[in-house]
Amino acid sequence: MISATSPRFERSATKLLREYGEFSPPVDVESLARSLGMSVSFEELDNDVSGLMLIEDGVVKVAINEAHHRHRQRFTLAHEIGHMLLHAEGDRVFVDRRFFRNAWASSGELREEIEANAFAAALLMPEALVREHLDAERGITDIDVFRLATQFAVSEQAMTLRLVKLNVIEPD
């Protein structure tokens, strides 16, 4: 398993949010993407495709699956921002599927997917903001995870993974 705990992603995501004055939940990832020059549209895509990104001559177009839940759409867009900032040198196409870890994925592609996910989590759930919204006095219950997920407009699964990574809760 490749580690995705690099402080690099945490720092770059936090820096980006502060630059754009977006440092409160829920992060407005769509306007952030547009501020970065991405054109974002919601399209009819195969169900297993979360999003596509086409980078050509410096023009960045992102298509998000219109049928997916808003929380997933937000994560997908944050993931594409990660690819754009971390992995795009020159023209490139990214196709993001629900399960990227398939037999075809080379280790390089896998690394990029893990990095883009780590960046997306850091962008949507910055550590400082998550900690600010925790009531550390008492233990974290499922209801707290639900409340946080709602505040940050992410799935409960994404918030759970994030809290595990931040050592707030134990993995199952």
Does 26 sit behind a cis peptide bond, omega within 30 degrees of 0 on the bond before it?
Answer: yes
Nearest approach, Cβ of residue 110 and Zn ion (Å): 10
**Residue with Cβ nearer Zn ion (81 or 168):** 81
SS3 115: helix
- Closer CB to Zn ion, 96 or 144, in the complex: 96
Residues that bind Zn ion (CB under 5 A): 96, 113, 116
Shortest approach of Zn ion to residue 67 CB, angstroms? 19
- Residue with Cβ nearer Zn ion (109 or 134): 109
Mapped onto helix, strand or coil, the DSSP state of residue 27 is coil
Nearer to Zn ion, 81 or 153 (CB): 81
Residue nearest Zn ion, CB atom distance:
96
Q: d(Cα 96, Cα 143) in Å, to the nearest integer?
A: 31
CB of 45 to Zn ion, least distance (A): 14
DSSP state, 172?
A: -
Q: Say which amino acid occupies 26.
A: P
Cβ 115 to Zn ion shortest distance, Å: 9
Instruction: Tell me the pairing of strands 49-56 and 92-97.
Output: antiparallel
